[in-house]
Structure 1
Amino acid sequence: MKFKMMIIGCLSFLAVGLTQAQDGWNWPADTELEAKGREYNAAYTDYKRSEENLKAKSGLHWLLTNIPELNESIYINGVEIYAGAAKEATDPKEQRVYQDSVLLIYDLRNEIYDNESKWIANKAYYAYQFYRGDKEKVGEAADLFERVMEVNGTLGYQLVPAYFDAVYRNFAYNQAYTTEEVLAKYEKINAILEEEESAGTDVSSQKGTLEQLLVAMEIIDCDFISNVLGPKLEADAGNMKMAQQIFQYSVQYKCLNTPTFNLALEVIDTNDPTFTTSQVRGMRYMQNSEYAKAGELFEKALTLATTDEQRAEIHWDMAKVHANLGRKGQARTSALKAAELNSERTKDAHGFIGGLIMSSSNECRGGQSRVKDYSIFIAAYDAYARAGDAAGMANAKARFPSKEELFTEGFQVGESMNTGCWVGQTVTLATRD
């Protein structure tokens, strides 16, 4: 650390008379000091052009110590020279001195020129490169990235992964933050990426790095979501930001069967509903056999749907709601509408209708004509046939009227009959035997 201390100690800037040259160079009024300064300036710049950084630093050090207000270029070049010297050095202790000097030069530059916003991001990235593997100093790198956001109001999206890696390492090495603090930092910089993405920038790589680091920290699980984040949302049920965070983490970490997820979903769907939030809420009520509530939310989702595929999904969901509420005619209508909007649902829809009809034996039984009572199974057979369900067809046919029953009631095979009841279909009479 001797060299670093020498830079710090020797910079008791000389009270020499400086003259402002027209070209922006502040050469000292003392001719002897000016001559020496010009000599060192020429020497260090020659070495820099030759990429001999270890040699260039000597003349530069003299200028920084004796004529610190000479020109801002000595600080700009100084960063490059000491960073290059750090790469060239073979002694780890000497290398660390040069790395520390890079950051010190930024501080000295700021004392004279007070233009931190121009270079603070570069300083932060140098600190990250130098200190990311150092348990004692990695926190300085993280702090400098935060200083960038403080000074400039944001952080360049390209630097986001470096910043969060510094946070990750400081957390891993030093337990420097609480889980809530880590998440707050994550959300803040993830918002930067979201904004860039909305402007058309491809930030998939940066987002991927953030997610990998967050997972590697192992700080989020279902217990954390329910026991830490959940109570916060309960205390502030209108907090959309918290609700969205819980929703995102619950989906990511597969914590969907929790009251906390349900609450977050309700907050989001109430304040900023989307097709997905309303549909998922409806499905949750379906799982709990709360079919009327599920139906209300599916109807809401239908108004938010933007594609036929989404509309088909909701009509299919509504078919199940109606069926569970005993509204079989409406269930059939919804199933057929789903098939109309999405042909891939056609077989499922007709199979579903076949099942509805098969389950209607008791409610459709009039008791006056066995042929008419059994005619609904012919309708079920036709539905199963459209679905390509051989087992369903066989099951339905086994319940057709018999030849004897047709003869006794004066009907013949091939005649038409309306099933009546909610089924209300005209079928062609056939027998099971």
Structure 2
Amino acid sequence: MKIKSAIIGCLSFLLVGLVQAQENWNWPSDPQMEAKAREYNAAYNDYLKSEEYLKAKKPLNWLLANSPDLNEALYINGVKVYAGASEAATDEADIAAFQDSVLTIYDLRKELYDNEPNWIANKAYYAYKFYKANKEKVAIAVELFEKTIEIHGKLEPSSLNAAYFDAVYRNFAYNKAYTPEEIITKYEFITSKLDEDEAAGVNVATSKSTLEQLLGAMDIINCDFIENNMGPKLMEDPTNLKLAKQVFQYAIKEKCTSSDVFLAALETIDNDSPTFSTSQVRGMRYMQNSEYAKAGELFEKALTLAETDEQKAEIHWDMAKVHANLGRKSQARSSALKAAEMNEEREADAHSFIAGMIMSSSNECKGGESRVKDYSIYIAAYNEYARAGNNEGMANAKSRFPSKEELFTEGYQVGDSINTGCWVGQTVKLATRD
């Protein structure tokens, strides 16, 4: 699965402009050291303004080593200097050293000023930016994102959530760092925060799409996981609509729709906000389980939610099967004909279906007083097969017509009319099999 490659590009970040006018400057008491500190402070700021990051390092490093408590601006601007230097450098070892220095500067800032909540999200962002492709260090980014969440309860800006889960994905891919359950827990937490941001008016569509792609790429969601990990949670809390929707979505994707867990999710969703599709699919699942009465109730519900004649035809066809399985053949016939009426593509199937029910009604319709009358149902079946254009069915039905001898014995002639009786209730013209 292709993963979005521009997560950082989505992060509109902070750290704009240079910091020069901080209060509480602690210049060295020694005049010569003070003069040098002022000179180097001006020098690194000039280099920083002109984006000459590699040149800015030398005076900045002198200040950090010789006057570390000069002002917090050293650490705020120091991050910019080393981040810029890491992009300007060409030697891989230098790049790695400069990137590490960015995080070290944050650590030094914490020791002196103890205001980690003010910049922890920035530090997490830089760790992700620098270490996301580093097998040994990507976990640092995850830890810093989680430290940010621990401090603030969430990640801001909202787009950092996608970066956080990408770091989780990479740590899992590189190091198998988490169990599937741990990944799902992290995923659910992030999505809950994205939902909160969305409710507050933030556009989180890109972040949510990225999360879905990353979760899919981890390949941890399969039928066994749905059944054994998500299933028990849903069974414990069957009103958990969010979980039900997740189970439904994953089960459809993984083709695990025959499980009890899928049915439970479907029930939760359908009870909360029924649609034609949820009610119909739920009814079909009950059909598969031979729970025909329940299936009928759901199909009736789906019929009230149907918006087109085609959908209504589908439900009448489903109801025909329900009635047939419950032995209600007359109602089954009515439903099949209604399906054909609303969708002409169902016509052949409907007449073959009716013919099949008639063919299976021999014992039910046998009166035992007249073989001609008893066999007349097969003529009715033949006529239905003929309407369907089902030649094989027609041949099968004709083979069970009464014989010429049976007609003669009972005083009938070919072409005479007779009512089949029973639920079939059709008047047919007699014909013989020979």
What TM-score do you get using the length of structure 2 for normalisation?
Answer: 0.74
Do the aligned partners of residues 155 and 383 (structure 1) sit closer, same or farther apart at CA in structure 2, a change above 3 Å counting? farther
C-alpha offsets along residues 242-265 of structure 1, whole Å, 9 cap, x if unaligned?
A: 444444444444444444444444
- What CA distance in whole angstroms lies between the structure 1 residues aligned with 2:310 and 2:145? 45
Q: Per the alignment, do residues 209 and 222 of structure 1 end up closer, same or farther by CA in structure 2, a change over 3 Å counting?
A: closer
Residue matched to 2:137: 137
Partner secondary structure for residue 400 of structure 2: coil
Match of 1:409 among 408, 411, 432: 411
- Residues 324 and 28 (structure 1 numbering): CA distance in 2 closer, same or farther, change over 3 Å? closer
* SS of match in other structure, 1:399: coil
CA distance in 1, matches of 2:214, 2:198: 15
Alpha-carbon offset, residue 98 of structure 1: 1.4
1:96 matched residue in structure 2: 96
Q: Relative to structure 1, is the Cα distance of residues 298 and 157 closer, same or farther in structure 2, using a 3 angstrom cutoff?
A: farther
Residue identity in the other structure for 1:409 = G
Offset at residue 170 of structure 1 (A) = 3.0
Deviation track 1:386-431 (CA, whole Å, cap 9, x = no partner) reads 3332211222233334556556634453x65543322233445544
- 3-state SS of paired residue (1:326): coil
Tell me the alpha carbon deviations over residues 77-105 of structure 1, each in whole angstroms, 9 at most, x when there is no partner. 54443223123435544333311232345
**CA contact under 8 A between 1:196 and 1:203: conserved in structure 2?**
no
Cα deviation code 1:286-317 (max 9, x no counterpart): 23323223323333443444554443333222
- Structure 1 counterpart of 2:171: 170
CA contact (8 A) 2:26 2:70 kept: no
How many Å separate the matches in 2 of 1:126 and 1:289? 58
Q: How far does the alpha carbon of each residue in 1:205-256 deviate from its partner, in whole angstroms, 9 at most, with x for none?
A: 51552233331xx4x4444444444444444454444444444444444444
CA shift in 2, pair 1:33/1:353, >3 Å: farther
Whose RCO is larger (CA < 8 A, sep 6+)? 2
CA contact (8 A) 1:53 1:81 kept: yes
1:423 matched to 2:427? The reply is no
Report percent identity of matched pairs: 61
Determine if contact 1:44/1:57 at 8 Å carries over to the other structure: yes
3-state SS in 1 of match to 2:364: coil
Residues 200 and 144 of structure 1: CA distance in aligned 2, closer, same or farther (over 3 Å): closer
The answer to which of 377-386 and 325-334 deviates more is 377-386
Any conservation in 1 of the 2:303–2:312 contact (CA below 8 Å)? yes
TM-aligned CA distance change 1:307 to 1:192, over 3 Å: farther
RMSD: 4.2
Q: Is the partner of 1:362 in helix, strand or coil?
A: helix
Amino acid at match of 2:318: D
* Post-superposition offset of 1:327: 0.6
Amino acid at match of 1:345: R
How far the C-alpha of 1:189 sits from its partner, in A, is: 2.9
Q: Tell me which amino acid in the other structure corresponds to 2:214.
A: L
Q: Which residue of 1 aligns with 2:17?
A: none
The answer to whether 1:331 aligns with 2:328 is no
CA distance in 2, matches of 1:54, 1:409: 115
2:194/2:204 contact within 8 Å kept: no
Determine the C-alpha separation between the residues in 2 that align with 1:80 and 1:56. 10
State whether residues 82 and 101 of structure 2, in contact with CA within 8 Å, keep that contact through their aligned partners in structure 1: yes
d(CA) in 2 for partners of 1:289 and 1:97?
A: 68
Partners of 1:124 and 1:333 lie apart in 2 by 67
Corresponding position of 2:215: 211
Aligned-partner Cα distance in 1 for 2:348–2:160: 52
How many Å apart are 1:39 and its aligned residue? 5.0
Conserved in 2, the CA contact under 8 Å of 1:165 and 1:213? no
Residues in 1 aligned to 2:209 and 2:268: alpha-carbon distance in whole angstroms:
31
Give 1:139 shift: 2.1
The answer for the alignment partner of 1:55 in structure 2 is: 55
Name the aligned partner's letter for residue 216 of structure 2.
Q
The CA distance in 1 between the partners of 2:32 and 2:427, in whole Å, is: 115
Q: Which moved more, 1:369-378 or 1:344-353?
A: 369-378
Q: Give the Cα separation in 2 of the matches to 1:271 and 1:311.
A: 22
In 1, Cα distance between the equivalents of 2:158 and 2:214?
A: 12
Deviations 1:54-87 (A, max 9, x none): 1123344456675978686x76654443223123
| Contact map agreement 2:159 2:204 (CA 8 A) in 1 | no
CA distance in structure 2 between the partners assigned to 1:67 and 1:423 by the alignment: 99
CA drift of 1:34 comes to 8.6
Aligned to 1:17: none
Letter in 2 for 1:145: F
For 1:146, the equivalent position in structure 2 comes to 146
Is residue 397 from structure 1 mapped to residue 401 from structure 2 by the alignment? no
Count of residue correspondences: 405
Higher mean displacement: 345-354 or 40-49? 40-49
Looking at structure 1, the residues matched to 123 and 132 of structure 2 have their Cα atoms a distance apart, in angstroms, of 14
Structure 1 residue 113: Cα displacement: 11
Amino acid at match of 1:213: A
Task: Report the counterpart of residue 289 of structure 1 in structure 2.
Answer: 290
Q: Does 1:362 align with 2:366?
A: no
Greater Cα offset, 289-298 or 185-194: 185-194
Structure 1 residue 328, shift from structure 2 partner: 0.7
TM-score normalised by L of structure 1: 0.74
**Rounded Cα–Cα distance in structure 2 between residues aligned with 1:76 and 1:134:** 25
Structure 2 gap segments, 5+ residues each: 1-19
The equivalences for 1:183-202 within 5 A come to 183-191=184-192, 201=205
Question: Partner residue of 2:128?
Answer: 128
Task: Report the residue type matching 2:335 in the other structure.
Answer: S
Question: Aligned-pair distance for 1:323?
Answer: 0.8
Cα shift at 1:183: 0.8
Where does 1:297-376 land on structure 2 (aligned, <5 Å)?
297-376=298-377
| Deviation (angstroms), 1:280 | 3.8
What secondary structure does 1:103 align onto?
helix
Residue aligning to 2:10:
none
Contact 1:149 1:155 in 2 (8 A): no
